[in-house]
Amino acid sequence: MNRTVQDRQFDSSVGGTSPASELADLLREARSRTLDLVADLSDGQMIGPRLAIVNPPIWEIGHVAWFQEFWVLRHLRKQRPLLEGADALYNSTDVVHETRWDLRLPNRHKTLEYMGAVLDRAIHLLQSSDNPVEEEIFFHLFSIFHEDMHDEAITYTRQTLGYPPPKLSAATARRPGAGAFPGDAEIPGGTFMLGATPDFPFVFDNEKWAHPVHVKPFRIARAPVTNAEFAAFVEDGGYLKRKFWSDEGWLWLESGGAPKLEQSFAKFFGKESKPKTEPLSSPGKIDHPVYWERESGGRWLQRLFDTCVPLSEHLPVIHVNWYEAEAFCNWAGRRLPTEAEWEMAASCEPGADGRGITERKRIFPWGDEPPAPDRANLDWSAMGCVEVGALPDGDSAFGCRQMIGNLWEWTASDFQPYPGFVMDPYKEYSQPWFGTHKVLRGGCWATRSRLIRNTWRNFYTPDRSDVWAGFRTCAR
């Protein structure tokens, strides 16, 4: 992290606060959000069923604290471990995922004690100097953003397992209705710099560094695909027609899709608390998105956390995987945008003569001002998605809506390194996943506003439908 970034992220002249105090506030707020997300869960729910797509929440919150201790206290400050044997419990690189339910983890009380001790020690050492050096700032921000990402994961774990929505005091649950937002935006194409530049506040290794990419003119949907649009694909038998699916997608479909949860639900939930609809179809019988269920009268319902509600036609379709998005596009005569096209539509500005693009790139679709509730649905504020026509103040220069917030958007691109890629200290963050994952862009309603921007790259395997992801399309 260079000096320009430090000055931009922490200006000690604003409000009379020091960089150390600002960082300490961020550390406290991140930890408070983590604890709020699990505060209402029972001890049994903190363990949960053994599934390939989630972690036991009790393990996940301990891992968040361990990660902070490992990088901030032990790596940076050369401190001794606060919890004996913690590496064997919480190091996600070494602890095989399927074994995390079998570990002799500290109980809830001890886990919270450990989390508190790590946070207190980190803040105490941070505040011993009002002017932390760049390396200190880097690792503190690293631990904060890592915690933010796990907080989003805890939120989709609650959805996967049919738990109630988290109770957050910061949430307003305000969901403005604005209907659909049809049509395409015309993007003139050109050469632009894909990726982040060194003057960004914090940059993950897979965003480094901006490099020229030429993009041909294209048309991209002004809004994500809606439930109503996707329901038309389902009603037309889209899941049953081989011609719409790639070989890999059809194999996923025939195998029954993602990990089978029915037995886990039957074992984990009692008769009264079992969700009204199973989150996944039976093997070989997938014919609709994972959390949809049809009533006897033909109306579609959707499970949101522990409640089934009528499918809202103007909300974006969510919890669909890359294969499903690709099949819809084939059915509709459309295609997914590449990540370069997505970033151009989100960040570039048209030339003065209406032809081509300028050299300027926006940090966010609407400009360089930070996210606000009237621009983007982030930070759990709405506790779910808003209609695709909402939040016009967040439009990009080309008129694309909700490119930041509301839901992650699948792109056509494989997750690959940018030219000259160099791993950050946390070597396992990006490099192991190149070539096996697909890129998603934009963030969702449970993404932190301090984390997301136009250049931020998320990545999941194409079979994942548990995350808060949908998609928008391009004209062929």
Task: Report pLDDT digits (tens) over 327-352.
Answer: 999 999 999 999 999 999 999 999 98
Same domain, 202 and 280: yes
In 3D space, the residue among 461, 90, 93, 94 whose CA is nearest the CA of residue 259 turns out to be 461
Residue 79: the pLDDT is 95
> Domain total for the chain?
2
Same domain, 369 and 245: yes
pLDDT, one tens digit per residue, over 69-104 is 999 999 999 999 999 999 999 999 999 999 999 999
Q: Is residue 293 part of a domain?
A: yes
* Relative orientation angle of helices 134-160 and 108-126, to the nearest 10 degrees: 160
pLDDT, one tens digit per residue, over 372-387 is 999 999 999 999 999 9
Domain boundary among 138, 160, 182: 160
| CATH number for the domain harbouring residue 33 | 1.20.120.450
Higher pLDDT, 57 or 269: 57
Which residue, chain included where needed, has tokens 């096209």? 341
Pick the range with the lowest mean pLDDT from 25-34, 277-286, 298-307.
277-286
* Rounded distance between C-alpha atoms, residue 87 and residue 109, angstroms: 19
Domain boundary among 115, 141, 160: 160
Average pLDDT for 113-140? 92
pLDDT, one tens digit per residue, over 188-211 is 999 999 999 998 878 999 999 999
Q: Is residue 166 part of a domain?
A: no
Average pLDDT for 296-309? 95
Average pLDDT for 148-153? 98
DSSP 69: I
| CATH number for the domain harbouring residue 455 | 3.90.1580.10
Same domain, 57 and 152: yes
| DSSP letter string, 212-275 | EEEE--EEEESSPPBHHHHHHHHHTTGGG-GGGS-HHHHHHHHTTSS---HHHHHHHS-TTTS-
Q: Is residue 165 part of a domain?
A: no
Q: How far is CA 282 from CA 48, 162, 295, 376, in A?
A: 21, 17, 17, 36
Same domain, 117 and 230: no
Pick the range with the lowest mean pLDDT from 49-58, 173-182, 193-202.
173-182
Which range scores top for mean pLDDT: 261-270, 278-287, 433-442? 433-442
In 3D space, the residue among 87, 49, 95, 43 whose CA is nearest the CA of residue 65 turns out to be 87
Q: Is the dihedral of CA 416, 466, 298, 385 positive or negative?
A: negative
Rounded to 10 degrees, the C-alpha dihedral 48/51/57/63 comes to: 140
Same domain, 303 and 348: yes
Question: Is residue 314 pLDDT above 90, yes or no?
Answer: yes
Residue 183: the pLDDT is 96
Give the number of other CB atoms < 10 A from CB of residue 205. 18
Residue 200: the pLDDT is 82
Question: Is residue 14 pLDDT above 60, yes or no?
Answer: no
Domain boundary among 134, 160, 186: 160
Average pLDDT for 398-423? 98
Which residue, chain included where needed, has tokens 């190091």? 91
Same domain, 154 and 8: yes
Question: Is residue 3 pLDDT above 90, yes or no?
Answer: no
Q: Is residue 201 part of a domain?
A: yes
Question: Which residues pair with residue 310 across a beta bridge?
Answer: 301
Question: Is residue 172 pLDDT above 50, yes or no?
Answer: yes
Are 393 and 431 in contact by the 8 Å Cβ rule? The answer is no
Residue 173: the pLDDT is 62
**CA 15 to chain CA mean position, Å:** 32
Residue 352: the pLDDT is 87
| DSSP letter string, 74-141 | IIIT-PPPSSTTHHHHH-TTTS-GGGTTTS----HHHHHHHHHHHHHHHHHHHTT-SS--HHHHHHHH
Residue 279: the pLDDT is 39
Same domain, 201 and 113: no
Q: Is residue 326 part of a domain?
A: yes
Q: What is the mean pLDDT of the chain?
A: 90
Question: Is residue 321 pLDDT above 60, yes or no?
Answer: yes
Give the number of other CB atoms < 10 A from CB of residue 318. 28
Q: Is residue 127 part of a domain?
A: yes
Same domain, 229 and 328: yes
Residue 129: the pLDDT is 75
Rounded to the nearest 5 percent, the helix, strand and coil shares of the chain are 35, 15, 55
* Rounded distance between C-alpha atoms, residue 444 and residue 468, angstroms: 6
* Rounded distance between C-alpha atoms, residue 6 and residue 428, angstroms: 25
Read off φ and ψ for residue 271, nearest 5 degrees: -60, -40
Which residues constitute the domain of residue 8? 3-160
Instruction: Calculate what percentage of the chain has a pLDDT beyond 70.
Output: 89
Q: Is residue 262 part of a domain?
A: yes
Residue 178: the pLDDT is 81
- Provide the pLDDT confidence category of residue 130 given band limits of 50, 70 and 90: low
Q: Is residue 224 part of a domain?
A: yes
Same domain, 257 and 109: no
Question: Is residue 293 pLDDT above 90, yes or no?
Answer: yes
Higher pLDDT, 158 or 260: 158
Question: Is residue 267 pLDDT above 50, yes or no?
Answer: no
Residue 306: the pLDDT is 97
Residue 284: the pLDDT is 53
> Within a 13 Å sphere around the CA of 371, how many CA atoms are in the beta-carbon half?
25
> Within a 13 Å sphere around the CA of 242, how many CA atoms are in the beta-carbon half?
3
Which residue, chain included where needed, has tokens 């009264």? 272
Same domain, 263 and 151: no
Which residue, chain included where needed, has tokens 């972690």? 55
Kindly give, in sequence order, each residue whose CB lies less than 8 Å from that of residue 64, ignoring residues fewer than 6 positions away: 34, 115, 146, 147, 150
Are 437 and 413 in contact by the 8 Å Cβ rule? The answer is no
Average pLDDT for 410-432? 97
Average pLDDT for 109-135? 92
Residue 280: the pLDDT is 37
Question: Is residue 388 pLDDT above 50, yes or no?
Answer: yes
Are 224 and 408 in contact by the 8 Å Cβ rule? The answer is no
Same domain, 332 and 187: yes
Q: Strands 438-441 and 458-460: what pairing?
A: antiparallel
Same domain, 180 and 149: no
